[in-house]
Amino acid sequence: MNRTEWNGIESLVIESCTYPGRQVAQLRIHRLISVQRKNSTGRILGDEMDQKKTVIVTGFEPFGEHTVNASWVAVQELKKLGLGHNINLHVAEVPVEYQAVQTLLPSLWKQHLPQLVVHVGVSGMATTVTLEECGHNHGYLRVDNCSFCPESHCCMEGGADCIHSVIDMDAVCRRVNSSGLGVTVSVSKDAGRYLCDYTYYTSLYLGKGRSAFVHVPPLGKPYSAEELARALRAVVLEMLELMEHNDGRKHCLHDQ
């Protein structure tokens, strides 16, 4: 048998054991309970781990004139900063391909069961960090990095025209702008009808509105990767706070 310890909780792992399944389960549960430890406030550490939130943040691979995609560079910098010890942060690079998005996103949602997924994309026209309010189903006419475009020109045939995030983007914008961060945040209702918008709509559908999209400017126009990462961190933390405050009271809007 192997004994492991993770974040102060010891787990006894029994290998190649021939006991009946019920007895093994009882042995494991008994052992786990017997080694539960409390922190200085008296709370059981195992409960704290259960309360950890999971957040996924994605950026995109290079495409077109963006040979270095500021979104993925900024997300990698965010990974270095982290979101605090109570939040599990996972990052992923999304291909600029319609079909890949339809495969990758369901996998991310299913594998990690996140409370929030935030997608980050670059916009050559952006001069601020821009929060997108909604994703759109129709109007996808541009080919992707594989020279492919959906024949239906939509994300989901028969789906709603638009899906809004459950997050109040105006509130997030106000809070971050008033924090003295030094990076300007704005709000938009049009994510561009390309892979950014396509990804956002798909994620909003999969997560029942528990998703967000953030457009960033190209690197150095005017912000560095580190500045963008700090802005993303502030934005994500504000989103989580708003979601917790509004839990069970606000729902995504599907415009037909």
Choosing from 134, 162, 173, 196, the catalytic residue is 196
215 is known as an active-site residue = yes
State the Cα angle at 134 between 200 and 51, rounded to 5°.
70
Residue 125 amino acid letter: M
Which of 77, 97, 132, 238 is flagged as catalytic? 132
Query: Comparing C-alpha atoms, which of 63, 72, 113, 94 is closest to residue 232?
Result: 72
Whether 5 is a known active-site residue: answer no
Q: Which of 66, 119, 164, 215 is catalytic?
A: 215
**CA dihedral of 98, 101, 103, 105, whole degrees rounded to 10:** -160
Q: Is 162 a catalytic residue?
A: no
Residue 202, classified by CB atoms within 10 Å of its CB into exposed (0-12), middle (13-18) or buried (19+), is buried
Catalytic residue numbers, as ranges: 132, 196, 215
